[in-house]
Amino acid sequence: MAESYTKINYTLRPAKCIERKMLCESFQRLVPFGRVDKYRYIGFGSTYFSDFILFHRMLNIQNMISIEKDEHNQERFEFNKPFSCIDMKFGESVDILPSLQWNLRSIVWLDYDGKLTDGVLADLHFVLSNCSSGTTVLVSVNAEPYNQPPDKQDFAELGQFRLNNLEEAVGKGNVPAGIKPTDLNRKNFGSTCRRIIHDHIKKTLVARNGGSEVGSKMMYRQLYNFAYADGAKMLTVGGVLFDEGQEGHFNQCGFDALSFYMPDDDQYVIDVPNLTYKEIRCLDSQLPSDEMDGLFLPNVSEDDLKKYRKLYRYFPTFSESSLG
């Protein structure tokens, strides 16, 4: 099967671009745990390295590791690597992650393009079990429900089909009890995946903290619960891990001041309006504004105006240029 980077230009996904900028802004607040430029970043760079470019330029992180499972095209990845500070690791993440040192504060983005699986949970389990205090961990997965086969038109049959697929993908023991067919439809499947990830985080930390003394147990606070679609629906969920003795450091970060801070079940939906460059420039000249009444564009819906007002600081601008 062809790798996703051969089908999708990851630099031209507006919702994903917005998400990266929001994450970058939040990472700047990690300073109470230590200088952000001394953090290590671990991600899946693909051939575009979009997150690596942004985090290096904006945060000056220079210890960067990109894990790439496509071992047959190493030369292409090395050629496209934008900075010398990126260390390429080729192989499956389940093999690469245990080979790394984990005594460094890290930002780890397990940014998968496929659905949630037991392999994703295994990677997350390893990181949570070994990371140091102040580490930020994120997981992104495809949140589209399992496709309906032509012979599964009955609602009950479809629900059972989707449940069977989910249990096969993540392991029956990781599926919450009482899951209903409506929890597995397009509207709610992302929330169900988030619940599975969150439950897995709690179980992993219970095991990690089993032999820890009071005051030195590892805690987790969720920061992100993004839902977006540049085609397929996607979910990104994650947060910060820290020794309970450093809870004051977490409070000093002020994550709750971020408009996209989502510590619970509520999702932050990145819904990108379709606007022309001229319309964007016109709206920018009217922002920031606490009120909707002052915003105006001819024949643009109030819904699109609200969407842009919510996202304008992170909105991407694409333009054609010649580098030759």
pLDDT tens sequence across 82-134: 999 999 999 999 999 999 999 999 999 999 999 999 999 999 999 999 999 99
Helices marked H in 149-239 — which ranges? 155-170, 189-208
**Run of H or E including 94:** helix 93-96
One domain for residues 236 and 195: yes
What pLDDT score does 46 carry?
A: 86
- What predicted TM-score, i.e. pTM, was given to this entire model? 0.93
SS3 127: helix
One domain for residues 250 and 305: no
Q: How many residues are recorded in the chain?
A: 324
pLDDT tens sequence across 201-259: 999 999 999 988 887 899 999 999 999 999 899 999 999 999 999 999 999 999 999 99
322 in a domain, yes or no? Answer: no
One domain for residues 109 and 136: yes
Which residue range(s) make up the domain with 305?
Answer: 277-314
168 in a domain, yes or no? Answer: no
Q: What are the residues whose beta carbons fall under 8 Å from the beta carbon of 237, sequence distance 6 or more?
A: 138, 139, 194, 197, 198, 222, 224, 225, 226
Tally of structural domains, the chain: 2
One domain for residues 308 and 243: no
One domain for residues 99 and 192: yes
63 burial class (0-12, 13-18, 19+ CB within 10 angstroms)? middle
CATH number at residue 47: 3.40.50.150
Whether 323 has a pLDDT exceeding 80, the answer reads no
Return the residue matching tokens 């009482």. 178
55 in a domain, yes or no? Answer: yes
pLDDT tens sequence across 269-305: 999 999 999 999 999 999 999 888 889 899 999 999 9
One domain for residues 133 and 281: no
What pLDDT score does 148 carry?
A: 73
One domain for residues 53 and 200: yes
Confidence grade of residue 7 (pLDDT, cut at 50, 70, 90):
very low
The per-residue b/e assignment along 121-151, b for 16 or more CB within 10 angstroms, e otherwise, is bebbbbbbeebbbbbbbbbbbbbbbbeeeee
Q: What percent of the chain has pLDDT over 70?
A: 93
One domain for residues 242 and 296: no
One domain for residues 266 and 281: no
Is beta strand 106-115 parallel, antiparallel or unpaired with respect to 40-43?
Answer: parallel
With residues binned 3-state (H G I as helix, E B as strand, rest as coil), the percentages for the chain, rounded to 5, are 45, 20, 35
Query: How far lies 292's CA from each of 260, 284, 308, in Å?
Result: 19, 13, 11
Report the alpha-carbon distance of residue 98 to residue 103 in Å, rounded.
Answer: 12
One domain for residues 307 and 191: no
**Run of H or E including 109:** strand 106-115
160 in a domain, yes or no? Answer: no
One domain for residues 306 and 255: no
One domain for residues 224 and 305: no
